[in-house]
């Protein structure tokens, strides 16, 4: 059993000030496999913020070429540890080693940020005036447990590209991924203070970072409830807040769609990462005349998942992350049964043959109404609610009748009809007929799914301040025109 006793501040490995520790339980075996220091407190936060503030004063002067070289070094150091990341995710998250997107995805995002940095115009002109974009400063990056590598990588790499310094607070439910990222940053030979990692509880470290007067931006990904607390803590010092929060995304299958393609895609996308994804299409809206026709496809696709040991390359679905999440998912499944939804497959309890491990039965409900709990609340587990609609206007109303607006999905045979329907969805990312997303485009949500955007040029600009400069007409004339 390994013990991880230090976090990373100002280029050094230091023990947290507090005595707290956390036992890491492998969700597939329910056995402790590591112990991680969890005692960071306000003292550690102050040290990390001071280090980041001091580093920022010099880092903001770096050239684009210098930051590009840093990103290249990070990519190289990351690629050398890919197998370690895969192993860590299998142990602490229960993510199958076959699910390589969790580990390969960050490489692509880093390359996108690097290439964008080389073409981005930090100075432009409007008439004879200059518009400058400058790094905002010290950034607190608070990351979730379900994507413990990709999410912090996206946050940090765009902060670095902008010229900002960062303190990462990963989830205490999956801290080993953050520790491994710190080792990568250390190997990449970044200037001290550019990247800092704190190990501690969110209610202590997250709130202290959010309220700290020398933190200029908080980028938070997590639940809507926690995001509200971050926003409240940050409001006292009027800092910028970027929030990616919960979701209850709908996949609307129009009558002329390929039902089989829509059903199979919905299961694979909804149940990826055991449904522990805020963009999961956990509501599938199907015309009332086609519900019975689509159910066999859903059940057949569910049957293709192979549950088991995350280290087994044949496994395609592992356990949920911990006991608390297991119990939460069980409660939601039971609520669906109690409230009258039809259980198509799955149900409560472990799958047959599993006496240990936090494995959940992949579950599909039909006959789900808008009033049911499983139709309104984010479950974060492999549970799909199939909901009937009678008209497209009703389908649009059901899809939009949510406090969330993170993602939306439409399947249709007629592209024009599908585009018109997609245009009415109140969500930040819409996919048509299972289209893949694009890392250059912005990601974020409407309504209580968040504030701000990540990825691409919009993600870079989250970390930039805008300055107007007057009186330098000659210098402005040499700059490209800003088009808005």
- On whether both 230 and 257 belong to a single domain, the answer is no
Average pLDDT on 294-318 reads 97
Active site residue 278: yes
User: Among 235, 227, 213, 73, which residue's Cα sits nearest to residue 137?
Assistant: 213
| Mean per-residue pLDDT, 313-339 | 98
Shared domain check, 396 and 267: yes
Average of per-residue pLDDT across 74-89 = 98
Give, in order, the Cα–Cα distances in Å from 72 to each of 89, 114, 187, 294: 24, 8, 12, 47
pLDDT at 366 over 90: yes
Do 174 and 261 share a domain, yes or no?
Answer: no
Does 437 fall in a domain? no
Question: How far apart, in whole angstroms, are the C-alpha atoms of residue 222 and residue 201?
Answer: 14
pLDDT-based confidence at residue 73 (cuts at 50, 70, 90): very high
CB atoms within 10 A of CB 146: 25
pLDDT average, residue stretch 136-162: 97
Q: How far apart are the first and last CA of the chain?
A: 57
pLDDT at 1: 77
Coil, helix or strand at residue 421: helix
Q: What is the pTM of this model?
A: 0.96
Q: Cα 373 from chain centroid? A: 24
CA dist 215 and 234 (Å) reads: 9
Contacts 24+ apart (CB under 8 A), 414-421: 414/254, 414/256, 417/254, 417/256, 418/254, 421/252, 421/254, 421/392, 421/395, 421/396
Read off the tokens for 255. Answer: 């009558």
For 98-131, write each residue's pLDDT tens digit.
Answer: 988 999 999 999 999 999 999 999 999 999 999 9
How buried is residue 109: exposed, middle or buried, by Cβ count under 10 Å (0-12/13-18/19+)?
buried
For 211-238, what is the mean pLDDT? Answer: 96
**Together in a domain, 259 and 241:** no
Catalytic option among 139, 270, 278, 431: 278
Could you tell me if 240 and 288 lie in one domain? no
Q: Provide the CB-side half-sphere exposure for 44 (13 A, CA).
A: 30
Average pLDDT over residues 70-82: 98
pLDDT of residue 484: 64
| Residues 214, 266 within the same domain | no
Q: Say if residue 397's pLDDT is above 70.
A: yes
pLDDT in tens, 202-213: 889 999 999 999
| Predicted confidence (pLDDT) per residue in 18-50, tens digit | 998 999 999 999 999 999 999 999 999 999 999
- CA-wise closest residue to 136 among 46, 239, 225: 239
DSSP sequence for 261-282: HHHHHHHHHHHGGGG--TT---
Residue pLDDT, tens place only, 408-420: 999 999 999 999 9
pLDDT at 276 > cutoff 90: yes
**Is residue 484 included in any domain, yes or no?**
no
Q: Same structural domain for residues 195 and 307?
A: no
Residue 186 and residue 215 share a domain:
yes
Tell me how far apart the alpha carbons of residues 381 and 359 are, in angstroms, rounded to a whole number. 10
Same domain, 298 and 276: yes
Pairing of strands 217-221, 240-244: parallel
Is residue 270, in this structure, part of any structural domain at all?
yes
The overall average pLDDT reported for the chain is 97
Distance of CA 380 to the CA centre of its chain: 13
What does the chain come to in residues? 484
Residue 295: what pLDDT? 98
Q: Is the pLDDT of residue 348 over 90?
A: yes
CATH number for 36: 3.40.605.10
What is the C-alpha separation between 262 and 250, in angstroms, rounded? 12
Neighbours of 23 (CB within 10 A): 12
Q: Could you tell me if 273 and 407 lie in one domain?
A: yes
Phi, psi of 142 (to 5 degrees): -110, 115
Domain identity same for 206 and 299: no
Q: Is 288 domain-assigned?
A: yes
| Active-site residue, selected from the candidate residues 244, 301, 392, 461 | 244
CATH number at residue 340: 3.40.309.10
Share of the chain above pLDDT 70, in %: 100
Tell me whether residue 480 is in a domain. Answer: no
Report the pLDDT value the prediction gives residue 483, as an integer from 0 to 100. Answer: 75
Identify whether 479 is part of a domain: no
Containing structural domain, residue 324: 250-432
Helix (H) or strand (E) holding 312: none
Report the distance separating Cα 56 and Cα 67, nearest Å. Answer: 13
256 & 236 share domain: no
In a domain, 439, yes or no: no
**What mean pLDDT do residues 184-198 have?**
98
Of 447, 429, 430, the C-alpha closest to 245 is: 447
pLDDT over 90 percentage in the chain: 97
Q: Is residue 18 part of a domain?
A: yes
Domain count within the chain: 2
Give per-residue pLDDT as tens, 327-344: 999 999 999 999 999 999
């Amino acid at each position: 059993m390994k013990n991880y006793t230090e976090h990373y501040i100002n280029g050094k490995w230091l023990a947290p000030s507090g005595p707290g520790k956390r036992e890491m339980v492998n969700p597939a075996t329910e056995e402790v496999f590591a112990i991680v220091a969890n005692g960071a407190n306000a003292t550690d936060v102050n040290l990390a913020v001071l280090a980041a503030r001091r580093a920022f004063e010099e880092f903001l002067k770096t050239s684009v070429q210098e930051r590009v070289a840093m990103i290249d070094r990070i990519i190289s150091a990351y690629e050398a540890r890919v197998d370690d990341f895969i192993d860590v995710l299998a142990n602490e998250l229960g993510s199958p080693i076959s699910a390589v997107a969790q580990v390969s995805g960050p490489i692509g995002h880093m390359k996108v940020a690097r290439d964008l940095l080389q073409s981005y115009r930090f100075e432009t002109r409007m008439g004879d005036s200059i518009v400058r974009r400058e790094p905002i400063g010290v950034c607190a990056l608070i990351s979730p447990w379900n994507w413990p590598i990709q999410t912090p990588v996206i946050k940090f790499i765009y902060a670095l590209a902008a010229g900002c310094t960062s303190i990462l607070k990963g989830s205490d439910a999956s801290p080993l991924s953050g520790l491994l990222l710190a080792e990568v940053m250390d190997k990449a030979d970044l200037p001290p203070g550019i990247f800092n990692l704190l190990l501690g509880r969110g209610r202590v470290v997250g709130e202290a970072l959010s309220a700290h007067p020398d933190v200029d931006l908080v980028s938070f990904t997590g639940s809507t409830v926690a995001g509200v607390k971050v926003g409240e803590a940050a409001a006292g010092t009027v800092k910028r807040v970027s929030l990616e929060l919960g979701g209850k995304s709908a996949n609307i299958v129009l009558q002329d769609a390929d039902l089989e393609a829509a059903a199979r895609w919905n299961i694979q996308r909804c149940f990826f990462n055991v449904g522990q994804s805020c963009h999961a299409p956990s509501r599938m809206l199907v015309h009332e005349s086609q519900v019975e026709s689509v159910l066999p496809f859903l059940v057949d696709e569910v049957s293709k998942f192979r549950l088991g040991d995350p280290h087994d390359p044949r496994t395609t679905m592992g356990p949920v992350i911990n006991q608390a999440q297991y119990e939460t998912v069980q409660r939601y499944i039971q609520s669906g049964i109690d409230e009258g939804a039809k259980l198509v497959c799955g149900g409560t309890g472990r799958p047959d043959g599993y006496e240990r491990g936090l494995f959940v039965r992949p579950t599909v409900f039909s006959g789900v109404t808008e009033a049911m709990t499983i139709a309104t609340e984010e479950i974060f587990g492999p549970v799909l609610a199939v909901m009937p609609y009678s008209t497209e206007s009703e389908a649009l109303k059901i899809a939009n009748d949510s406090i969330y607006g993170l993602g939306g999905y439409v399947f249709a045979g007629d592209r024009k009809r599908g585009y018109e329907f997609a245009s009415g969805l109140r969500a930040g990312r819409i996919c048509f007929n299972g289209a893949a997303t694009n890392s250059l485009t912005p990601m974020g949500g409407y309504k209580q799914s968040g504030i701000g955007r990540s990825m691409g040029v919009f993600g870079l600009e989250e970390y930039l301040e805008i300055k107007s400069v007057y009186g330098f007409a000659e210098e402005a004339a040499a700059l490209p025109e800003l088009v808005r």
